[in-house]
């Protein structure tokens, strides 16, 4: 029984470590979101401007993400304009 408990405990600890803390991955502001820009794929200055233009304020950004767990389609389209790749959006 001890071996089972130890194995279960280690398994849970490993699972939680692998998944990470959800608070760490959450973007609390538009700047947090923009910092995650991949500069190999996007012009990050353009990316940041598109995020700011879409949400206008951090309050609007936060309010949106409290209700939704995804990037808005309109913002995805706008961010496509900042892509360094040569494909058409």
pLDDT digits (tens, 9 = 90+) for 31-61: 888 999 999 999 999 999 999 999 999 999 9
CB burial of 13-48 (b: ≥16 within 10 Å; e: otherwise) equals eeeeeeeeeeeeeebeebeebbeebeeeebeeebbb
| Mean per-residue pLDDT, 8-22 | 39
| pTM of the model as a whole | 0.64
| Mean per-residue pLDDT, 20-39 | 72
Q: Please, which pLDDT band fits residue 88 given cuts at 50, 70 and 90?
A: low
């Amino acid at each position: 029984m001890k071996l089972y408990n130890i194995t279960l405990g280690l398994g849970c600890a490993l699972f939680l470590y692998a998944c990470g803390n959800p608070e760490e991955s959450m973007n609390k502001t538009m700047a947090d979101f923009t910092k995650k820009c991949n500069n190999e794929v996007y012009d990050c200055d353009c990316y940041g401007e598109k995020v700011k233009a879409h949400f206008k304020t951090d309050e609007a950004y936060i309010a949106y993400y409290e209700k939704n767990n995804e990037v808005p389609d309109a913002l995805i389209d706008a961010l496509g304009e900042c892509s360094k790749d040569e494909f058409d959006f």
